[in-house]
Structure 1
Amino acid sequence: MPLKLMSTLAVEVALKRRLLPAFTQTTGITPDVTWNPTTVIMQRIAAGTRADAIILIDKSMAELVERGIVVASSVAPIATAKIGVAVAGDAPAPKLETVEDLKAALLGARSVAYSRGGASGIYFAKLIEKLGIAEAVNARATIIPEGFTAGQIVAGKADLAIQQISELMSVDGIQIAGPLPEAVQAGTDFSVAAFADAENPDDATRLIAHFTSAAAGAAYEAGGLTSRLARI
Protein backbone atom coordinates (compact mmCIF):
# COMPACT_ATOMS: atom_id res chain seq x y z
CA MET A 1 0.00 0.00 0.00
CA PRO A 2 1.67 3.27 -1.13
CA LEU A 3 2.42 6.14 1.21
CA LYS A 4 0.01 8.87 0.10
CA LEU A 5 0.68 12.59 0.42
CA MET A 6 -1.71 15.42 -0.42
CA SER A 7 0.16 18.66 -1.00
CA THR A 8 -0.30 22.25 -2.07
CA LEU A 9 1.52 23.38 -5.19
CA ALA A 10 3.66 25.93 -3.33
CA VAL A 11 6.14 23.33 -2.07
CA GLU A 12 6.35 21.28 -5.27
CA VAL A 13 9.79 22.51 -6.38
CA ALA A 14 11.37 21.86 -2.98
CA LEU A 15 9.81 18.42 -2.70
CA LYS A 16 10.35 17.21 -6.26
CA ARG A 17 13.91 18.45 -6.64
CA ARG A 18 15.28 17.54 -3.22
CA LEU A 19 13.10 16.25 -0.42
CA LEU A 20 11.20 13.43 -2.12
CA PRO A 21 14.24 11.94 -3.92
CA ALA A 22 16.22 12.06 -0.66
CA PHE A 23 13.38 10.36 1.24
CA THR A 24 13.15 7.60 -1.34
CA GLN A 25 16.91 7.10 -1.33
CA THR A 26 16.97 6.84 2.46
CA THR A 27 13.86 4.72 3.02
CA GLY A 28 13.18 2.97 -0.28
CA ILE A 29 9.67 4.45 -0.18
CA THR A 30 8.34 6.49 -3.10
CA PRO A 31 5.36 8.55 -1.89
CA ASP A 32 2.31 8.84 -4.11
CA VAL A 33 1.78 12.61 -4.19
CA THR A 34 -1.32 14.49 -5.31
CA TRP A 35 -0.70 18.18 -6.03
CA ASN A 36 -3.56 20.70 -5.81
CA PRO A 37 -4.31 24.25 -4.67
CA THR A 38 -5.50 24.51 -1.07
CA THR A 39 -9.09 25.18 -2.12
CA VAL A 40 -9.19 21.99 -4.19
CA ILE A 41 -7.58 19.93 -1.42
CA MET A 42 -10.21 21.11 1.05
CA GLN A 43 -12.97 20.26 -1.42
CA ARG A 44 -11.54 16.76 -1.89
CA ILE A 45 -11.30 16.22 1.86
CA ALA A 46 -14.90 17.41 2.28
CA ALA A 47 -15.86 14.79 -0.31
CA GLY A 48 -14.17 12.08 1.75
CA THR A 49 -10.72 11.80 0.16
CA ARG A 50 -7.93 10.91 2.58
CA ALA A 51 -4.20 10.19 2.47
CA ASP A 52 -1.46 9.47 5.00
CA ALA A 53 0.08 12.95 5.24
CA ILE A 54 -0.79 16.43 4.07
CA ILE A 55 0.92 19.78 3.44
CA LEU A 56 -1.44 22.71 3.70
CA ILE A 57 -1.65 26.38 4.65
CA ASP A 58 -1.85 26.88 8.41
CA LYS A 59 -5.39 28.26 8.47
CA SER A 60 -6.81 25.25 6.65
CA MET A 61 -4.68 22.87 8.70
CA ALA A 62 -6.12 24.34 11.89
CA GLU A 63 -9.59 23.63 10.53
CA LEU A 64 -8.67 19.98 9.90
CA VAL A 65 -7.26 19.71 13.43
CA GLU A 66 -10.49 21.10 14.88
CA ARG A 67 -12.51 18.56 12.90
CA GLY A 68 -10.26 15.69 13.99
CA ILE A 69 -9.19 14.90 10.42
CA VAL A 70 -5.47 15.31 11.12
CA VAL A 71 -3.53 14.45 14.28
CA ALA A 72 -2.98 17.67 16.23
CA SER A 73 0.31 16.52 17.74
CA SER A 74 1.71 15.73 14.28
CA VAL A 75 1.30 19.25 12.86
CA ALA A 76 4.67 20.87 12.14
CA PRO A 77 5.47 24.20 10.41
CA ILE A 78 7.77 23.91 7.40
CA ALA A 79 7.88 27.01 5.18
CA THR A 80 6.47 30.38 4.15
CA ALA A 81 5.71 31.36 0.55
CA LYS A 82 5.70 34.92 -0.77
CA ILE A 83 3.89 36.15 -3.86
CA GLY A 84 5.95 37.20 -6.86
CA VAL A 85 5.83 38.27 -10.48
CA ALA A 86 7.24 36.30 -13.41
CA VAL A 87 8.08 37.31 -16.97
CA ALA A 88 9.43 35.43 -19.97
CA GLY A 89 13.01 34.29 -19.68
CA ASP A 90 14.18 36.73 -22.36
CA ALA A 91 11.96 39.66 -21.33
CA PRO A 92 13.08 42.71 -19.34
CA ALA A 93 11.98 42.51 -15.71
CA PRO A 94 9.70 45.35 -14.56
CA LYS A 95 10.63 47.46 -11.57
CA LEU A 96 8.73 46.25 -8.49
CA GLU A 97 10.20 48.24 -5.62
CA THR A 98 7.07 50.24 -4.78
CA VAL A 99 3.31 49.84 -5.07
CA GLU A 100 3.32 52.44 -7.85
CA ASP A 101 5.92 50.35 -9.70
CA LEU A 102 3.65 47.33 -9.39
CA LYS A 103 0.60 49.23 -10.63
CA ALA A 104 2.55 50.51 -13.63
CA ALA A 105 3.73 47.00 -14.50
CA LEU A 106 0.24 45.52 -14.24
CA LEU A 107 -1.41 48.29 -16.23
CA GLY A 108 1.31 48.17 -18.87
CA ALA A 109 1.08 44.43 -19.40
CA ARG A 110 -0.64 42.94 -22.43
CA SER A 111 -2.15 40.33 -20.12
CA VAL A 112 -1.60 39.30 -16.50
CA ALA A 113 -2.08 35.65 -15.57
CA TYR A 114 -3.38 34.61 -12.17
CA SER A 115 -5.39 31.76 -10.69
CA ARG A 116 -8.86 31.68 -9.18
CA GLY A 117 -8.13 28.58 -7.10
CA GLY A 118 -4.91 29.35 -5.25
CA ALA A 119 -4.33 31.51 -2.19
CA SER A 120 -2.13 33.91 -4.17
CA GLY A 121 -4.73 34.41 -6.89
CA ILE A 122 -7.50 35.04 -4.40
CA TYR A 123 -5.30 37.59 -2.64
CA PHE A 124 -4.26 39.23 -5.93
CA ALA A 125 -7.88 39.66 -7.04
CA LYS A 126 -8.59 41.52 -3.80
CA LEU A 127 -5.36 43.52 -4.09
CA ILE A 128 -6.11 44.96 -7.52
CA GLU A 129 -9.58 45.90 -6.28
CA LYS A 130 -7.96 47.73 -3.37
CA LEU A 131 -5.51 49.46 -5.73
CA GLY A 132 -8.38 50.58 -7.96
CA ILE A 133 -7.09 48.83 -11.08
CA ALA A 134 -9.18 45.64 -11.11
CA GLU A 135 -11.35 46.62 -14.06
CA ALA A 136 -8.38 47.59 -16.23
CA VAL A 137 -6.31 44.52 -15.31
CA ASN A 138 -9.15 42.00 -15.54
CA ALA A 139 -10.28 43.34 -18.91
CA ARG A 140 -7.29 41.61 -20.47
CA ALA A 141 -6.21 39.18 -17.74
CA THR A 142 -5.65 35.47 -18.31
CA ILE A 143 -7.40 33.87 -15.34
CA ILE A 144 -7.03 30.12 -14.88
CA PRO A 145 -9.03 27.92 -12.47
CA GLU A 146 -5.90 26.33 -10.96
CA GLY A 147 -2.34 25.32 -11.80
CA PHE A 148 0.83 27.23 -12.59
CA THR A 149 0.16 30.71 -13.93
CA ALA A 150 3.64 31.07 -15.46
CA GLY A 151 2.62 28.43 -17.99
CA GLN A 152 0.48 31.12 -19.60
CA ILE A 153 3.65 33.13 -20.31
CA VAL A 154 5.27 30.16 -22.02
CA ALA A 155 2.06 29.60 -24.00
CA GLY A 156 2.17 33.21 -25.19
CA LYS A 157 -1.10 34.16 -23.52
CA ALA A 158 0.33 36.54 -20.90
CA ASP A 159 3.47 38.55 -20.31
CA LEU A 160 3.19 38.74 -16.51
CA ALA A 161 2.24 35.95 -14.11
CA ILE A 162 1.31 36.35 -10.46
CA GLN A 163 1.68 33.49 -7.99
CA GLN A 164 3.72 32.35 -5.04
CA ILE A 165 7.37 32.49 -6.08
CA SER A 166 7.87 28.80 -5.37
CA GLU A 167 5.04 27.97 -7.78
CA LEU A 168 6.36 30.28 -10.49
CA MET A 169 9.68 28.42 -10.25
CA SER A 170 7.95 25.20 -11.31
CA VAL A 171 7.75 26.45 -14.90
CA ASP A 172 10.75 26.44 -17.25
CA GLY A 173 11.38 29.31 -19.64
CA ILE A 174 10.44 32.13 -17.27
CA GLN A 175 12.29 34.33 -14.81
CA ILE A 176 11.23 35.75 -11.47
CA ALA A 177 10.99 39.53 -11.83
CA GLY A 178 10.73 39.83 -8.06
CA PRO A 179 8.38 39.61 -5.10
CA LEU A 180 5.46 41.98 -4.64
CA PRO A 181 6.49 45.17 -2.81
CA GLU A 182 6.58 44.65 0.95
CA ALA A 183 3.70 47.10 1.46
CA VAL A 184 1.34 44.73 -0.36
CA GLN A 185 3.12 41.42 0.19
CA ALA A 186 1.26 38.48 1.73
CA GLY A 187 3.24 35.55 3.06
CA THR A 188 1.48 32.20 3.38
CA ASP A 189 2.60 29.73 6.05
CA PHE A 190 2.57 25.99 5.38
CA SER A 191 2.60 22.99 7.71
CA VAL A 192 2.72 19.22 7.38
CA ALA A 193 0.64 16.72 9.36
CA ALA A 194 -0.58 13.12 9.46
CA PHE A 195 -4.18 12.11 8.83
CA ALA A 196 -5.96 10.66 11.85
CA ASP A 197 -7.04 7.65 9.80
CA ALA A 198 -3.78 7.21 7.87
CA GLU A 199 -3.34 3.72 6.46
CA ASN A 200 0.45 4.07 6.81
CA PRO A 201 0.86 6.02 10.07
CA ASP A 202 4.45 4.93 10.73
CA ASP A 203 5.61 5.92 7.24
CA ALA A 204 3.68 9.19 7.54
CA THR A 205 5.62 9.92 10.73
CA ARG A 206 8.90 9.18 8.94
CA LEU A 207 7.92 11.50 6.09
CA ILE A 208 7.04 14.33 8.47
CA ALA A 209 10.36 13.87 10.28
CA HIS A 210 12.13 14.12 6.92
CA PHE A 211 10.23 17.29 5.96
CA THR A 212 11.20 18.92 9.27
CA SER A 213 14.82 17.76 9.41
CA ALA A 214 17.80 20.12 9.48
CA ALA A 215 18.54 19.39 5.82
CA ALA A 216 14.99 20.27 4.76
CA GLY A 217 15.47 23.97 5.47
CA ALA A 218 17.94 24.39 2.62
CA ALA A 219 15.59 22.55 0.28
CA TYR A 220 12.75 24.95 1.05
CA GLU A 221 14.99 27.98 0.52
CA ALA A 222 16.24 26.58 -2.82
CA GLY A 223 12.62 26.05 -3.82
CA GLY A 224 11.70 29.71 -3.48
CA LEU A 225 10.35 29.46 0.06
CA THR A 226 11.41 30.79 3.45
CA SER A 227 12.10 27.96 5.87
CA ARG A 228 10.21 28.05 9.16
CA LEU A 229 12.29 25.29 10.69
CA ALA A 230 14.74 27.66 12.37
CA ARG A 231 11.81 29.28 14.16
CA ILE A 232 10.41 26.04 15.58
Structure 2
Amino acid sequence: MPSSARELGRVGVGITVHENAPLPDISTPDAVKRTLLAARSIVYINPATGTSGKHFAQVLQNLGIAEAMKPKTTLLEGGYVVEAVGRGEIELGIHQITEILPVKGIKLVGPLPEALQKVTVYVGALTPKARDPEQARRFLAHLQTPESRQAFAKRGYMAGP
Protein backbone atom coordinates (compact mmCIF):
# COMPACT_ATOMS: atom_id res chain seq x y z
CA MET A 1 0.00 0.00 0.00
CA PRO A 2 2.63 2.56 -1.00
CA SER A 3 -0.03 5.23 -1.61
CA SER A 4 -0.82 5.26 2.13
CA ALA A 5 2.72 6.33 3.09
CA ARG A 6 2.77 9.68 4.86
CA GLU A 7 5.75 11.58 6.18
CA LEU A 8 5.24 12.23 9.89
CA GLY A 9 8.35 14.25 10.65
CA ARG A 10 12.08 14.71 10.33
CA VAL A 11 14.70 14.68 13.06
CA GLY A 12 18.15 16.21 12.87
CA VAL A 13 21.28 15.77 14.95
CA GLY A 14 22.02 18.44 17.54
CA ILE A 15 24.53 19.49 20.17
CA THR A 16 23.68 20.02 23.82
CA VAL A 17 25.38 21.50 26.88
CA HIS A 18 24.62 21.63 30.60
CA GLU A 19 21.74 23.98 31.40
CA ASN A 20 24.11 26.42 33.16
CA ALA A 21 26.79 26.43 30.45
CA PRO A 22 27.20 29.17 27.85
CA LEU A 23 26.10 28.28 24.34
CA PRO A 24 29.09 27.58 22.09
CA ASP A 25 29.16 28.64 18.45
CA ILE A 26 28.06 25.82 16.13
CA SER A 27 26.83 28.04 13.29
CA THR A 28 29.26 26.72 10.66
CA PRO A 29 31.33 23.58 10.15
CA ASP A 30 34.46 25.51 11.19
CA ALA A 31 32.70 26.76 14.33
CA VAL A 32 31.66 23.19 15.18
CA LYS A 33 35.25 22.05 14.70
CA ARG A 34 36.58 24.78 17.02
CA THR A 35 33.90 24.05 19.62
CA LEU A 36 34.64 20.32 19.60
CA LEU A 37 38.40 20.82 19.84
CA ALA A 38 37.93 23.25 22.74
CA ALA A 39 35.61 20.89 24.66
CA ARG A 40 37.06 18.90 27.55
CA SER A 41 34.71 15.96 26.80
CA ILE A 42 31.95 14.83 24.44
CA VAL A 43 29.44 11.99 24.37
CA TYR A 44 27.49 10.41 21.55
CA ILE A 45 25.86 7.08 20.83
CA ASN A 46 28.11 4.20 19.80
CA PRO A 47 28.36 4.20 15.99
CA ALA A 48 27.80 0.44 16.03
CA THR A 49 24.36 0.85 17.63
CA GLY A 50 22.97 4.24 16.60
CA THR A 51 22.47 6.14 13.38
CA SER A 52 23.42 9.52 14.84
CA GLY A 53 26.60 8.00 16.27
CA LYS A 54 27.58 6.47 12.96
CA HIS A 55 26.95 9.79 11.27
CA PHE A 56 28.80 11.83 13.90
CA ALA A 57 31.85 9.58 13.72
CA GLN A 58 31.93 10.38 10.00
CA VAL A 59 31.54 14.11 10.77
CA LEU A 60 34.63 13.93 12.98
CA GLN A 61 36.51 12.21 10.14
CA ASN A 62 35.35 14.80 7.61
CA LEU A 63 36.42 17.65 9.91
CA GLY A 64 39.83 15.99 10.25
CA ILE A 65 39.63 15.76 14.05
CA ALA A 66 38.65 12.14 14.72
CA GLU A 67 42.02 11.22 16.25
CA ALA A 68 42.22 14.41 18.33
CA MET A 69 38.74 13.74 19.76
CA LYS A 70 39.29 10.08 20.75
CA PRO A 71 40.78 10.76 24.22
CA LYS A 72 37.86 12.99 25.23
CA THR A 73 35.04 10.98 23.66
CA THR A 74 32.63 8.72 25.52
CA LEU A 75 30.48 6.34 23.46
CA LEU A 76 27.31 4.99 25.05
CA GLU A 77 25.01 2.20 23.92
CA GLY A 78 21.64 3.86 23.62
CA GLY A 79 18.83 5.68 25.29
CA TYR A 80 19.39 9.22 26.43
CA VAL A 81 23.17 9.25 26.05
CA VAL A 82 23.27 12.99 26.81
CA GLU A 83 22.12 12.49 30.43
CA ALA A 84 25.82 12.59 31.39
CA VAL A 85 25.86 16.22 30.21
CA GLY A 86 23.00 17.04 32.58
CA ARG A 87 24.88 15.42 35.47
CA GLY A 88 27.91 17.59 34.69
CA GLU A 89 30.11 14.62 33.77
CA ILE A 90 30.50 15.52 30.08
CA GLU A 91 30.71 18.96 28.47
CA LEU A 92 29.03 18.40 25.07
CA GLY A 93 26.49 15.85 23.91
CA ILE A 94 25.61 14.98 20.34
CA HIS A 95 22.44 13.07 19.50
CA GLN A 96 19.17 13.25 17.60
CA ILE A 97 17.28 16.32 18.79
CA THR A 98 14.31 14.19 19.87
CA GLU A 99 16.68 12.37 22.24
CA ILE A 100 18.02 15.66 23.65
CA LEU A 101 14.85 17.61 24.43
CA PRO A 102 13.39 15.28 27.11
CA VAL A 103 16.59 15.21 29.18
CA LYS A 104 16.68 17.31 32.34
CA GLY A 105 19.64 19.51 33.19
CA ILE A 106 20.68 20.29 29.63
CA LYS A 107 19.85 22.74 26.88
CA LEU A 108 19.96 22.34 23.13
CA VAL A 109 22.65 24.48 21.53
CA GLY A 110 21.09 23.79 18.15
CA PRO A 111 21.17 21.48 15.17
CA LEU A 112 24.38 20.73 13.34
CA PRO A 113 24.91 23.05 10.36
CA GLU A 114 23.31 21.79 7.17
CA ALA A 115 26.67 20.72 5.68
CA LEU A 116 27.21 18.38 8.66
CA GLN A 117 23.60 17.37 9.26
CA LYS A 118 21.91 13.97 8.97
CA VAL A 119 18.13 14.09 8.95
CA THR A 120 16.09 10.98 9.67
CA VAL A 121 12.67 10.91 8.01
CA TYR A 122 9.83 9.10 9.81
CA VAL A 123 6.99 7.73 7.70
CA GLY A 124 3.73 6.01 8.61
CA ALA A 125 1.88 3.67 6.25
CA LEU A 126 -0.78 0.98 6.20
CA THR A 127 0.38 -2.59 5.94
CA PRO A 128 -1.36 -5.07 3.63
CA LYS A 129 -2.36 -7.14 6.67
CA ALA A 130 -3.76 -4.30 8.81
CA ARG A 131 -6.44 -5.79 11.07
CA ASP A 132 -8.65 -2.69 10.70
CA PRO A 133 -7.51 -0.67 7.66
CA GLU A 134 -10.09 2.07 8.20
CA GLN A 135 -9.01 2.63 11.79
CA ALA A 136 -5.37 2.67 10.63
CA ARG A 137 -6.25 5.30 7.98
CA ARG A 138 -7.94 7.45 10.62
CA PHE A 139 -4.90 7.12 12.89
CA LEU A 140 -2.54 8.19 10.08
CA ALA A 141 -4.83 11.12 9.29
CA HIS A 142 -4.84 12.09 12.98
CA LEU A 143 -1.03 12.10 13.03
CA GLN A 144 -1.13 14.75 10.30
CA THR A 145 -3.51 17.17 12.02
CA PRO A 146 -2.20 20.58 13.10
CA GLU A 147 -2.49 19.47 16.75
CA SER A 148 -0.39 16.36 16.15
CA ARG A 149 2.15 18.32 14.11
CA GLN A 150 2.43 20.80 16.98
CA ALA A 151 2.96 17.95 19.47
CA PHE A 152 5.66 16.47 17.21
CA ALA A 153 7.35 19.88 16.88
CA LYS A 154 7.52 20.29 20.68
CA ARG A 155 9.43 17.01 20.80
CA GLY A 156 11.96 18.00 18.15
CA TYR A 157 10.38 16.74 14.93
CA MET A 158 10.52 19.09 11.96
CA ALA A 159 7.78 19.15 9.37
CA GLY A 160 8.68 17.75 5.98
CA PRO A 161 8.47 19.54 2.66
TM bin (shorter chain)? 0.7 to 0.9
SS in 1 for 2:125: strand
Q: Distance in 1 between matches of 2:138 and 2:90?
A: 41
Q: How far off its partner does 1:159 sit?
A: 1.1
Distance 1:106 1:198, change over 3 A: same
Q: After alignment, is 190-199 or 85-94 more displaced?
A: 190-199
Classify the secondary structure of the residue corresponding to 2:72.
coil
1:53-68 to structure 2, matched below 5 A, reads: none
Q: Point out which structure has higher relative CO (alpha carbons under 8 A, 6+ apart).
A: 2
Partner of 1:223: 155
Unaligned runs of 5+ in 2: none
The alignment status of 1:141 with 2:73, answered yes or no, reads yes
User: Secondary structure, in 3 states, of the residue corresponding to 1:194?
Assistant: coil
**Residue 188 of structure 1: CA displacement?**
2.1
Q: Please, which of 56, 72, 78 is the counterpart of residue 2 of structure 2?
A: 72
SS where residue 57 of structure 2 aligns? helix
| Deviations 1:153-173 (CA, angstroms, capped at 9, x unpaired) | 123331111112222102111
* Structure-to-structure mapping, 1:114-193, within 5 angstroms: 114-116=44-46, 117-193=49-125
* Aligned-partner SS, 1:139: helix
User: Are the structure 2 counterparts of residues 109 and 78 from structure 1 closer, same or farther at C-alpha, using a change threshold of 3 Å?
Assistant: same
State the distance in 1 between where 2:98 and 2:73 align: 21
Q: TM-score when scaled to structure 1?
A: 0.62
Change (3 A) 1:139 1:203: farther
Q: Secondary structure, in 3 states, of the residue corresponding to 1:226?
A: coil
Distance apart, 1:95 and its partner CA: 0.8
Cα drift, residue 216 of structure 1: 2.1
Match of 2:19 in 1: 89
Q: Classify 1:136/1:200 alpha carbon distance in 2 versus 1 (closer, same or farther; 3 Å).
A: farther
- Identity over aligned residues, as a percent? 34
Query: Distance between the aligned counterparts of 2:50 and 2:14, measured in 1?
Result: 14
* Structure 1 equivalent of residue 33 of structure 2: 103
Structure 2: distance between partners of 1:161 and 1:179: 12
Shift of 1:174: 0.6
Structure 1 unaligned runs (5+)? Answer: 1-70
The one of 139, 144, 148 aligned to 1:207: 139
Alpha-carbon separation, structure 1, partners of 2:13 and 2:45: 12
* Contact kept? 1:142, 1:157, Cα under 8 Å: no
CA distance in 1, matches of 2:136, 2:104: 31
CA RMSD of aligned residues (A): 1.9
